Amino acid sequence: MSIIKIGVIGVGNIGSSHVELLHKGQIEGATLTAVCSRNERRMEWIKNYTQGDVKIFRDEETFFNESGIDAVLIATPHYSHPELAKKAFANGMHVLIEKPAGVYTKNVLEMNEAAKASGKVFGIMYNQRANPLYRKLRDLILSGELGEIKRTNLIVTDTYRSQSYYDSSKWRATWKGEGGGVLLNQALHQLDIWQWTTGDMPKRIHAVSSVGKYHDIEVEDDVTAYVEYDNGATGIFITSTGEVPGTNRFEIIGDRGKIVVENEELTFYQLTQSEREFNKTYRGGFGKPEWKKIDIPVKCENANHASIIQNWIDSIRKGSPLLAPGEDGVKALEIANAMYLSSWLKEAVALPIDPDYYFEKLQEKINTSTFEKKNVTNTTLDVKGTH
């Protein structure tokens, strides 16, 4: 198949890094031909960086109708992802969206239906799915080597953000602009990895989120959640943008051992027999199953944006399976929405949640908000690829 003509809409921190990847020719089979943004300063950067080789659009309708692109990479603020994706599908374009898929499941489910009807290749930038560390973890779990899962513990507090980060734009850390805080922005990759590696969604969630605990913001920057699964397993999820030094640790306990992912290392504490079998047959009182520690060598790669883009292009050109199908975006979002709803209602909620009810509650948050940002700097952050 011929070279895929790509357009990027949204040229903030992450969009800029996508522009650089494509313009440098680092994605085989694709070429950057158009960019759309309302940010005049970023458009001037595009003009200078690409030396006029890329068409520049400031209006999304013109971009979709006149750019002549085959596929679009959407890197705009959260709320706009589903609507822009639907417009792209209507114009016969393949789509890759940045995470999150959206802010609420109601319109994300509509986007998924539009994607299905279009027949186009639809991906989401869940770049950690391309990380060999998590791919190996998924293989170990889904192959049955860990046995039936009994508990999952995921701590994601290595996502520290200063007040200046939140002050960098008007839309950040507001219900109206971003639709959430640490759950939707920093921790969504881990929420996806949580369900993707285990192959299971929780059936029930009870969460407590703290709004502006460490920052002057109106959304959550600290969350603790307890989850239950269909098979009786339980789990804990903790995340925050206010702790230093932070932790990124994932424990999965099964009836045949425990797997720990921490400090970019994967360790399997493998039992010599099933704990359930040992429990039934052992007659020695205080004994416990024997186990061996296995350090599994895996090269951890955290910067996998290029891998996801390349996989998306290969799927368009060659029919290769997607690592991160766009339709999967609703799963981590469903978990995040359930955590918000549980925290707002101060009670456990069952999944799947009612998408209309969640949308209604989110609108209440937006419409009753009296929060005002005091020190908006409107700056582009120094580190590209940072959300």
Structure tokens at 5: 């003509």
The pLDDT tens digits of the residues spanning 127-138 come to: 999 999 999 999
The Cα 321–Cα 255 span in angstroms is: 32
Report the pLDDT averaged over residues 306-331.
97
Fold type of domain 129-302+332-367: Dihydrodipicolinate Reductase; domain 2 (3.30.360)
Provide the residue ranges of all domains of the chain, joining segments of one domain with +: 4-127+303-325, 129-302+332-367
Determine the pLDDT at residue 377.
84
Residue 385 pLDDT class (50, 70, 90 cuts): very low
Q: What is the pLDDT of residue 34?
A: 96
Question: Which residue type is seen at 300?
Answer: C
374 or 135, which is more confident? 135
Helices (H), the chain: 13-23, 40-50, 60-66, 81-90, 105-118, 132-142, 163-166, 188-198, 275-281, 305-318, 329-345, 355-367
Q: What b-and-e string marks burial along 319-331, b requiring 16 or more CB atoms within 10 Å of the CB?
A: eeebbbbbbbbbb
Check residue 136 and give its pLDDT.
96
CATH 1.10.3210.10 fits 4-127+303-325, yes or no: no
pLDDT at 25: 92
pTM recorded for the entire structure:
0.94
Q: Region 277-304: what's the mean pLDDT? A: 91
